[in-house]
Amino acid sequence: MTLAAGIDVGGTKCLGVVVDADAEVATEHDIKLQVRHPTPHASKLVEALAALAGELGRFDTLGVGVPGLITHDGIMRASPNIPGSVDIAVGPGLSARLGRRVHVDNDGNLAALGEWRFGAGRGARNMWMVTLGTGIGGGHLLDGVVQRGVNGFAGEIGHMVVNPDGPRCTCGRKGCWEVYASGRGLGMLASGEPGERVMRRARHGDADAVTVLEAWARWVAVGLSNVTNFSDPDVIVIGGGVSEAADVVMPIVRRWFVELLYSPGQRTHPDLRVAQLGEHAGAIGAALLPQYAH
């Protein structure tokens, strides 16, 4: 049995798992070991990842997913949700510390890879993964190949500008999709109320919460329709906090999606699916990365 380790670096936590790389499925029950730690300042990131990898014990390969602009050789050029993240040599630094090759890619790409291989994206030819969390992550696979772009920076759909006069994003620009449709965006629309509470109240029919959720779902659909218009996918997998309240959120998102899509009556619509791997999607995708590395 080949053991594959994967680490998913998020805005608030780093999650590491070990899975059987030869398995045909990967679910929470197939994870051999998992370790989580808070995400440190970028200056301490390589050191923290090396320590986390040590806690994972024995493994044959290691992949790491990091948010932001990640070069093909594993340099984190920028990551708005991790303070100090400018030109951090995650791949080279971690490889040197561990004395072994470490594959590094964007976290959205790896969540997409995990869902395509083992989750809601199975069977898709042209698939997008959209993760609505602290920010918005994205990953795109076409015929089983992650689309990384010339520099490795493709898929940053959270930073599509949907309102150039809107609030400032953590990336420094104004009106990014992430400002409105992320978990933070839901909180902003709810005047600071936590998104989980808004969804809970909406599930119980609270009119104010339903109004907020309606506005937020429309912003989600704005981005999904843009993604559809420029890449014509057959499947869009939606993960993050929305997957925890899919019964409440997805009917509204689907309704707005159809209304906002270009020529909805003259085209086949992508299948909007809820992610299946939960918080483990990125870490499982990272574990798969050495098999699918560019």
Quote the percentage of the chain above a pLDDT of 90: 81
Average pLDDT, the chain: 92
Per-domain residue ranges of the chain: 3-111+279-292, 123-275
Alpha carbon distance 155, 223 (integer Å):
12
Each residue of 186-195: pLDDT tens digit?
A: 999 999 999 8
- Which of 31-35, 119-123, 222-226, 255-259 is predicted with the least confidence, judged by mean pLDDT? 31-35
* 200, HSE (Cβ side, Cα atoms, 13 Å): 5
Alpha carbon distance 193, 59 (integer Å):
42
CA dihedral 230, 63, 1, 20 (to 10 degrees): -50
DSSP helix/strand/coil, 76: strand
Mean pLDDT of 206-212: 95
- Looking at domain 123-275, its CATH class is alpha beta
Each residue of 245-273: pLDDT tens digit?
A: 888 999 999 999 999 999 999 999 999 99
Each residue of 44-83: pLDDT tens digit?
A: 999 999 999 999 999 999 999 999 999 999 999 998 888 8
Domains 3-111+279-292 and 123-275 share a fold: yes
Strand-strand pairing, 75-78 and 69-70: antiparallel
Please state the pTM of the whole predicted model. 0.92
Residue 104's pLDDT is 97
Q: Which CATH superfamily is domain 3-111+279-292 in?
A: ATPase, nucleotide binding domain (3.30.420.40)
Residue 35's pLDDT is 87
